[in-house]
Chains A and B, each alone.
Chain A
Amino acid sequence: MKKLSVILLASLAFVACSDNKKQEKELLDKILKVHDKIMNKDDILMKNKMTLDSLLKLPAKDTAEKTNMKAVDLKLKAADEAMEVWMHKFDPDVMNNKSHDEIVKYYNEQEKSIKSVDSLMNAAIDESTKYLSSRSK
């Protein structure tokens, strides 16, 4: 009987452990999904930024216009940098040998910060795309 309860306990612990691992993996997958989505948008961000940069190099005809352009350009730069900062800091390996709770906490924080990068990027891309299309009209 005692033997049975040991086995039961061990299998319970095993199930709990694999559940933990599953949860961690799901959290990581969620983060990577946002990350890949952002990276896909990076093409558009860079394209808009390069267009703006070349426009900014032209001699200024209208200083107000140029200030405006510069503000849009800076937003793109900030979004790009925010993404880079996240990328350089994020490392799932730092969580090796950490407890399940610590890992979940880390992933939750990371998810939050990558999502804020995502909205920063969306806003900068939207604004610059609108700006550039209004100029070409």
Chain B
Amino acid sequence: MRNILIIGFAAILLWGACKSGSDKKALPIYGNRKPVTKMVDGKQVTDTIYQTIPPFKFVNQYGDSISNKTLNGNIYVVDFFFTTCPSICPIMHRNMLKVYETFKNTGDFKIISHTIDPKHDSVPVLKKYADKLGITGNTWWFLQGKKEDIYTIAEKNYLVAVKQDSSAAGGYIHAGYFVLIDKQKRIRGSYDGTDPKQVDQLIADIKTLQAEPDQMIVQ
């Protein structure tokens, strides 16, 4: 009986050790991809071009213009919300605060929250919302822009990975996803922002990304 217990215990220990080893593996890259062949030093090499977030321009809670260029050199997390949302947004942003608190002092990280109700959520409304959450500085931006632009970038870019995983039609923008983008503007993960466990995973994945060696910026 005792032996079995010891073996069992050892197995659990071993399993735990293996698991922590596998946590270190690289994050997947989502989105569309296409192979390209090019000549390097007279040899034919096949490379993969991954989908990246295209140029955009929105305005943040301070009235500053924020574009894809402003985010160069940053890992960032994206979500979609609106300030009068009575159901899931308060839960999402309570969870996002944990992400904010963890990374607000690292120089290479941003959070961008797009309002999907730009008619109501003007710059002053967004500023008030940020103040209420206790957000200061330039780590977490609440972005406003044309509704059409927000929906287009959500559907064609940020949420493509979510769509690949789900068979349901429509309804991604209000489903509370947090999407993780790396410094090369590639999609590296999406998480249910209402689930604290998945948000913890997001925090772990951001740390993994921060430890990833910087590669050439693909544009």
Q: Chain A residues in contact with chain B, CB under 8 A?
A: 32, 35-36, 39-44, 46-47, 49-50, 53, 84, 87-88, 90-92
Chain B residue nearest to A87 (CB atoms) is B84
> How many of chain B's residues touch chain A, expressed as a range?
20 to 34
Known contacts A40-B170, A40-B175; A46 and B148 CB within 8 A of each other: yes
Further contacts, 16 of them, CB under 8 A, given A43-B173, A87-B82:
A36-B87, A39-B171, A39-B173, A39-B174, A40-B170, A40-B171, A40-B174, A40-B175, A41-B170, A42-B174, A43-B170, A47-B155, A53-B148, A84-B119, A87-B85, A92-B86
In the bound complex, residues from chain A placing their C-beta under 8 Å from that of B119 are: 84
Known contacts A44-B169, A47-B155, A87-B82; A36/B117 CB under 8 A: no
| Contact for B87 among A35, A44, A84, CB less than 8 A | A35
Contact call B173/A42, Cβ cutoff below 8 A: yes
Number of A-B contacts (CB under 8 A): 54
* B86 x A43 contact (CB < 8 A): no
Question: CB within 8 A of A90: which of B86, B116, B171, B173?
Answer: B86
List residues of chain B with CB under 8 Å of any chain A CB.
82, 84-88, 116-117, 119-120, 147-148, 151-152, 155, 169-175
| Chain A, interface SS category | helix
Chain A residue with the shortest CB-CB distance to B148:
A50
> Helix, strand, loop or mixed for chain B's interface?
loop
Contacts of A47 in B (CB 8 A): 151, 155, 170
Min C-beta distance of A108 to chain B, whole Å? 17
Distance A41 CA – B173 CA, assembled complex (angstroms): 10
- Interface pair B148/A43, CB less than 8 Å apart: no
Tell me the smallest distance from the CB of A37 to a CB of chain B, in Å: 9
- Give bound CA distance, A47 to B119, whole Å: 18
